[in-house]
Amino acid sequence: MQTRLPFAQRRVTAAFIPRACRSLRFPVAVLALVVLTSGCTVYQSIGKSVGSFLHPVSGHDFVHIDNDQWNQKNALIYFYRTHSQWAADEIEAPSVYVDDKHYFNIRNDSFTWLEVSPGERHIAMRRPLLGLEGLNSFSLSLIADATLQVEAGRVYYLRYNELIAPEQPHPDLDPEHPLAQGDLQLVPRQYAMQAEELVSTRFLNSDLLAPNHAAVSIAKVNEDFDYARKMELLEEERELEIERLKKEGKYDSPSWLWPFGGGPTVPLEADGKIRQLESEYAAIENERQRRAEAESSGGWWVF
C-alpha cells in the first residue's frame, strides 16, 4: 500500500512551474493564458477537471458496449477507476491523454472507453492544479506515461487506483513495463470482471460540470497522428542520409550561379520510404471518402 498525503495537503503550488514561464509570478490561470501566447505547449483541462467530491459520477452501471458499436478493424480500450475514499474526496480528477490529446478526466468509481487505431498508442495521465497540468515536457504531476501496442479486434482494460495495485502484473507485459506497475495498469479481462472492479463502476457521462470526449472512436485522429509522427521521423532520417552522402562524396553542392541546383547523386532511401508512407495514407483517405459517400447516400458500410 502506498503512503498518501492527507486530503488538505493534496495540492501542487505554482512554485513548481518552470522559472522561464513564471518570472512575474502570475496566478496559475493568468499564467496559462500568457504561455499560450508565448509558444509553450500547455497541458490543461480547465473546466473539465472537477472531481467526485464536487460532482459524483451518475452514469449507468457498467456494461460492455455491443460489438456492432465499434469497428473490429480497430481496438477498444476501457478505462476504469475503482472506488476509494481518496478518489471520492478529490476536488480535481486526473486527465487522460491518448497520443498527446486530452479526452477526459477520470473520477471516482467510473468507467469509459475509446475505440483506437491499431498500433502503438501513447497513454498519459496528469493531475491538474486549477486545470493546469504542465508546460512542454514539464508536468505538475505525471501519473502515467507509457505506450501500449494494441491489435485489431482486441479489447484492453486500463485500471486506475492510487492505493491498491493488482495482485500481479498483466501476463502479456514485461514486469518493467510502465503499465505493469504504478497507479495506472493494464489488467486482463478476468481481473477487470471481478467484484469491486470494473463491473462495479458507473459510466462517466459528459455534462456541463465535467465535459469529456470519450466513449467515441478516435481511430481517425490516431491515423493522422501516426502519419504525422512517421513523416517527421522520415524527414529527420532524410537529413541524416544527406549528411552521410555529403561525407561520402555522393552529393553535388549547388552552383553559385544557380542556387536551386545540386543534390544527392544517388537515390535517397528516405525518399522511397516517404513515397510509400504517402501512398499508404492516400489509401486511408480514399477509404474514408468512400465511407463518407456511402453514408451520405443512405447506404451502409461493411467493416
Residue 75: the pLDDT is 98
Cβ burial of 173 (10 Å; 0-12, 13-18, 19+) is middle
CA-angle at 175, arms to 169 and 181, nearest 5°: 60
For residue 171, CA distances in Å to 168, 185, 188, 209, 283 come to 8, 12, 8, 38, 36
Pair 171, 150 in one domain: yes
% the chain with pLDDT above 90: 74
192 part of a folded domain: yes
For the residues 270-291, what does the mean pLDDT come to?
A: 96
Domain boundary among 217, 251, 266: 217
Residue 168: the pLDDT is 85
Residue 259: the pLDDT is 62
Of 163, 77, 164, nearest in space to 121 by CA: 77
For the residues 256-260, what does the mean pLDDT come to?
A: 65
Domain boundary among 173, 191, 217: 217
Pair 133, 111 in one domain: yes
Structural domain containing residue 80 = 14-217
168 part of a folded domain: yes
- Give residue-wise pLDDT tens across range 185-194: 999 999 999 9
- Give residue-wise pLDDT tens across range 134-166: 998 888 999 999 999 999 999 999 999 999 999
Does 216 have pLDDT greater than 90?
yes
Pair 179, 228 in one domain: no
Provide the strand spans (E) within 181-243: 184-187, 202-203, 216-217
For residue 155, CA distances in Å to 4, 78, 190 come to 32, 8, 12
Pair 136, 161 in one domain: yes
Residue 130: the pLDDT is 95
At residue 208, the 3 state secondary structure works out as coil
Question: How far is the first Cα of the chain from the last one, in angstroms, to the nearest whole number?
Answer: 45
Pair 82, 162 in one domain: yes
Q: Residue 209's pLDDT band (boundaries 50, 70, 90)?
A: very high
Split into its structural domains, the chain has a count of 2
